[in-house]
Amino acid sequence: AQSVTQLDSQVPVFEEAPVELRCNYSSSVSVYLFWYVQYPNQGLQLLLKYLSGSTLVKGINGFEAEFNKSQTSFHLRKPSVHISDTAEYFCAVSVPSGSARQLTFGSGTQLTVLP
């Protein structure tokens, strides 16, 4: 079974500073990778996803992530954060499971942007 590790449970950062949220996964088979964001008291919404092709994926709100197969990582980055980026971020990995696919979420990283 695959697992997803988000290495930091909390990341505080000052406004306009860059940020990187780290995600590593354990799987040797074909993976699809996702980053979701959850604002307070809301459901999750997709930031970006990697299915195939270019390893650098651009998402909404200025976020991007790079798929690194050799390091089994999919870190999320933003060059300059805003107060409104304060939220919880979840990495998720989808792998084949029989005729379907299985999706596993990481435990989340709380990003807090400080003024």
Partner 1 sequence: NAGVTQTPKFQVLKTGQSMTLQCAQDMNHNSMYWYRQDPGMGLRLIYYSASEGTTDKGEVPNGYNVSRLNKREFSLRLESAAPSQTSVYFCASSWRGLEETQYFGPGTRLLVL
For position 22 contacting partner 1 by CB under 8 A, the verdict is no
Bridge partner residues of 96 (DSSP)? 101
Residue from 7, 17, 46, 114 binding partner 1 (CB under 8 A): 46
CB of 36 to partner 1, least distance (A): 8
- Of the candidates 1, 48, 27, 17, which has an alpha carbon nearest to the alpha carbon of residue 111? 17
Q: How many residues does the chain have?
A: 115
For position 51 contacting partner 1 by CB under 8 A, the verdict is yes
For position 102 contacting partner 1 by CB under 8 A, the verdict is yes
For position 94 contacting partner 1 by CB under 8 A, the verdict is yes
> 105 in the Ramachandran plot: left (φ > 0), alpha (ψ -120 to 50) or beta?
beta
Enclosing H/E stretch for 70: none
For position 112 contacting partner 1 by CB under 8 A, the verdict is no
| Closest to partner 1 by CB, 85 or 108 | 108
- Of the candidates 67, 112, 115, 69, which has an alpha carbon nearest to the alpha carbon of residue 91? 67
Q: Which stretch binds partner 1 (CB under 8 A): 11-19, 37-45, 64-72, 73-81?
A: 37-45
